[in-house]
Amino acid sequence: MRISDLSRESGIPIPTIKFYLREGILPAGSRTAPNQATYGEAHHRRLRLIRVLVDVGGLTLSAVRRVVEALEDDELPLTDVLGVAHRALEKPVPSTDHDLVVARLEVDAWIEARGWHVTVDAPARDALAATLVALRGLGWQVGPRVFDRYAGHMDEIARTELAYVAGMDSREAAVETTVIGTVVFERAMVALRRLAQEHHSRPLLGPRAGVASSADG
Amino acid sequence: MRISDLSRESGIPIPTIKFYLREGILPAGSRTAPNQATYGEAHHRRLRLIRVLVDVGGLTLSAVRRVVEALEDDELPLTDVLGVAHRALEKPVPSTDHDLVVARLEVDAWIEARGWHVTVDAPARDALAATLVALRGLGWQVGPRVFDRYAGHMDEIARTELAYVAGMDSREAAVETTVIGTVVFERAMVALRRLAQEHHSRPLLGPRAGVASSADG
DNA sequence: CTCCATTGGATAGCGATGCTATCTGCTAGC
DNA sequence: GCTAGCAGATAGCATCGCTATCCAATGGAG
């Protein structure tokens, strides 16, 4: 399979494929001559993965690179692949802010109290702290307990997901399922919440349904 | 309050504030002279909102503009503000693809079967269809039923959230809570799922826990 | 064996986004 | 009056994700 075939089958322009090769997120083809190479099904599959991560997951190409490097590392334990996927999806928080440090401690204590066992450097801890800081900056006087309402559901969802992946019989399938599942179902979950919000908003927020009009704030 | 005060209190540089004014996402101050204006608490609050939407929600500035325009429109029913927030958060799907159209029909049927009542142009419908197409492109032979596992939880979450907002006594507070809640708790939810995933991954995916090593794919 | 489209590789450019810097009058407040 | 600060306009800049061009080498058709 030459680059033009790969381009035609994947729908991705040749210059873009060359760009991905340069960026190291698509492995080089097998050389057949100093300036010729052939590509296989693995390349095609990789291209589809890249597009899903970028289009569905909203990852930057550098995040994609971190993910595919984790995928390619056969030595890496499955738990670490999950960690890499999580880190790639999260934009790092500056964490120099004092409020953030305080919030982070509260979040850590809350996680502890929940009985969740997660590494101290999990980026989701900072993400949670950041949302707390954001809410407070907007005048909401809230603590980590606002997350209680969501945590039980997420725990249940994650439990089911992980049980599914753990039941798979090949490492490769488990790894890819882990990464894709994290990214794709995140998007799906968010979309489902919005659909449910809209569904419930009709009876609750519709015209004359308890919320007063603009004159009495 | 002059622009320098606004800058100092919000921590946002003057040129950036001027940029937001130009972009129309921060309303102009009240003129006191042809080239002088003063700003109030509303401006400060707006700046914090912008930063939350951008930093926490990952919105582009044009999406922020759509949101604040909805906030400023006192005529707009609360349900529509929710819709605007949802549209602003979703990057529009091209929808010219044939697979996408098919998936969209399946998603619509699934939503119908669930008994959810949402407008036909809700962007979350397309988002769900897009995830379905993405999964299929990667070889997963799945239908909208993969979402079943998540839908019940999201329904429950949305129900609680909407009941909370509907109980508020001022439109303004309800509107802002709606927008902020949609954006901020989305991020929090995703972070919580990841924490829960990591928590459950230890016993299930840890070394020698059912998933074989790299040699037996 | 010739010819020319195609290839890999390198370099440069481009359009969008989100600022940032500079300039030009004008004004506020000492 | 003087100087710091202001509004508004214009221009520049860094990053991202491509896209276009150029080059020498190649490979397959004839």
pLDDT in tens, A119-163: 999 999 999 999 999 999 999 999 999 999 999 999 999 999 999
Q: How many CB pairs under 8 A join A and B?
A: 307
Question: CA end-to-end span of chain B, whole Å?
Answer: 66
Residue B45 confidence (pLDDT) above 80: yes
Q: Which pair of structure tokens corresponds to residue A13?
A: 């322009």
pTM, entire model: 0.90
Q: What is the CA radius of gyration of chain A?
A: 22
Give the distance from residue B66's alpha carbon to the nearest chain A alpha carbon, in angstroms.
Answer: 18
Q: In whole angstroms, how far apart are CA B206 and each of A11, A169, A181, B194, B196?
A: 39, 15, 18, 16, 15
Comparing alpha-carbon positions, the chain A residue that sits nearest to B189 is: A150
Query: Do A132 and B177 form a contact (C-beta atoms < 8 A)?
Result: no
pLDDT per position as a tens digit, A202-214: 887 665 444 444 4
Asked if A14 CB < 7 A from strand C, the reply is yes
* Secondary structure class of B51 (helix, strand, coil): helix
Give A54's DSSP letter: I
Residues of A in Cβ contact (< 8 Å) with B173: 217
CA distance A216 to B13: 35
Tell me the residue length of chain B.
Answer: 217
- Does A158 contact B at CB distance below 8 Å? yes
**pLDDT computed for residue B113 by the predictor:** 98
Q: Which of A130, A162, A211 sits opposite B78 (nearest CB)?
A: A211
User: Is B192 within 8 Å of A154 when comparing Cβ atoms?
Assistant: yes
CA distance A108 to A103: 9
Q: What backbone torsions phi and psi does residue B36 show, to the nearest 5 degrees?
A: -140, 145
Residue from A48, A76, A108, A154 whose CB has the most chain B CBs within 10 Å, to mutate = A154
Q: Which of A147, A168, A176 sits opposite B188 (nearest CB)?
A: A147
pLDDT per position as a tens digit, B91-139: 877 667 899 999 999 999 999 999 999 999 999 999 999 999 999 999 9
pLDDT level of residue B167 (50, 70, 90 thresholds): confident
